[in-house]
């Protein structure tokens, strides 16, 4: 008989006592240093996120691309093939950029060992996403020169290069920060964290997911959609972690969240929307029945509003999701959309998932 590790559920009173003892050390999550003490645990919520992420394990080998190849060869219109070409070109580098910021900035400054455990798991997931998109390109683009061009898209395709430059600007914005000593240092770090959670993972990637689900609604590229379901779930969890860090900092140092920081976040979000609209103009430039630049702009504003709410800030646009194909999708592996909490990692989800509820 195989031995399994017993699951130990600590009483709530024990957890509360442990949190109180941990906070008695009088350190905040952005304080300089490299805290190593897991007991008593200061932020058990991050450890819980790490445990949930471990349960949410998938592999690229589970994804079957065979039907996609038939669709690419026989079913997709030229405009849809152009959309897919641009989309996979963006995917080729998007998660690598996120991973670089995680290693260079987030791990260094989020000073809680349980939070760094989650970041370590996130780094694995970013590598898994890179493998997924590598496999995607290898299957979708068999011609070597075309494949090399797709991997170099961040240098050669203006709409993708613009998004890359936006990302690199925020990675570089705190290059000179070895430790977060001052109020200004911490606000600069928060802007980097918000940028990657709300703008890159929370806007750029979610726009890309909408293109994938639009094609799925037409019965196309089910392999891509199946893999995207898992990536979608991962990215939702990454955002939830980052926003929980923001909430923790807000509770510990509320004076950091002033009008200037809010104005900077809104300016950043509007710049991200502009970048993504340029990409949409490229992606949809050959005409895709059922998607328009105007609707895409509204969708991006809708997503941006959700991100602002998650950051504890008022909505800016007050618009509704214009994409009816997102209202109901048969995505059995997917259990959350935008800020919903993932609740089924190891148990298959049966039935349809509604996208038209309050997000």
| Residue 108: how many other CB atoms lie within 10 Å | 18
Prior bond of 40 cis (ω within 30°): yes
CA dist 8 and 6 (Å) reads: 6
Task: Give me the catalytic one of 133, 211, 213, 299.
Answer: 133
Query: Is residue 133 flagged as an active site residue?
Result: yes
Per DSSP, the three-state class of 329 is strand
Q: Which two tokens stand for residue 294?
A: 């105007």
CB-count exposure of residue 157 (10 Å: 0-12, 13-18, 19+)? buried
CA dist 61 and 141 (Å) reads: 18
Per DSSP, the three-state class of 216 is helix
- CB 276, CB 211: distance < 8 Å: no
Just list the catalytic residues: 133
């Amino acid at each position: 008989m195989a031995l399994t590790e017993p699951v130990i559920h600590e009483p709530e009173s024990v957890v509360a006592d442990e949190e109180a003892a941990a906070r008695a050390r009088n350190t905040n999550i952005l304080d300089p240093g490299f805290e190593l003490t897991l007991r008593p645990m200061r932020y058990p919520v991050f450890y819980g996120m790490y445990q949930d992420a471990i349960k949410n394990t998938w592999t690229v080998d589970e994804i079957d691309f065979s039907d996609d190849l038939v669709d690419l060869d026989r079913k997709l219109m030229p405009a849809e093939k152009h959309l897919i070409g641009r989309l996979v070109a963006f995917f080729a580098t998007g998660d690598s950029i996120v991973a670089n910021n995680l290693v260079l900035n987030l791990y260094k400054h989020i000073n809680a060992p349980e939070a760094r455990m989650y970041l370590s798991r996130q780094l694995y997931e970013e590598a898994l996403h890179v493998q997924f998109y590598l496999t995607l390109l290898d299957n979708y683009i068999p011609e070597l020169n075309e494949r090399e061009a797709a991997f170099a898209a961040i240098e050669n395709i203006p709409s993708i290069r613009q998004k890359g430059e936006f990302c690199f600007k925020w990675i570089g914005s705190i290059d000179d920060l070895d430790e977060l000593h001052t109020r200004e240092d911490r606000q600069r770090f928060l802007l980097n964290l918000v940028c990657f959670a709300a703008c890159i993972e929370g806007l750029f990637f979610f726009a890309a997911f909408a293109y994938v689900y639009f094609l799925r609604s037409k019965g196309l590229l089910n392999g891509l959609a199946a893999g995207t379901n898992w990536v979608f779930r991962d990215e939702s969890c990454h955002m939830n972690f980052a926003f929980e860090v923001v909430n923790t900092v807000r509770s510990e140092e509320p004076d950091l969240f002033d009008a200037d920081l809010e104005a900077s976040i809104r300016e950043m979000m509007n710049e991200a929307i502009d970048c993504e609209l340029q990409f949409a103009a490229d992606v949809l430039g050959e005409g895709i029945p059922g998607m328009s630049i105007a609707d895409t702009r509204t969708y991006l504003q809708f997503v941006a509003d959700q991100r602002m709410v998650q950051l504890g800030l008022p909505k800016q646009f007050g618009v509704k999701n214009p994409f009816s194909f997102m209202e109901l999708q048969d995505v059995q592996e997917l259990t959350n959309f935008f800020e919903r909490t993932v609740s089924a990692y190891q148990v298959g989800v049966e039935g349809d998932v509604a996208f038209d509820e309050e997000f």
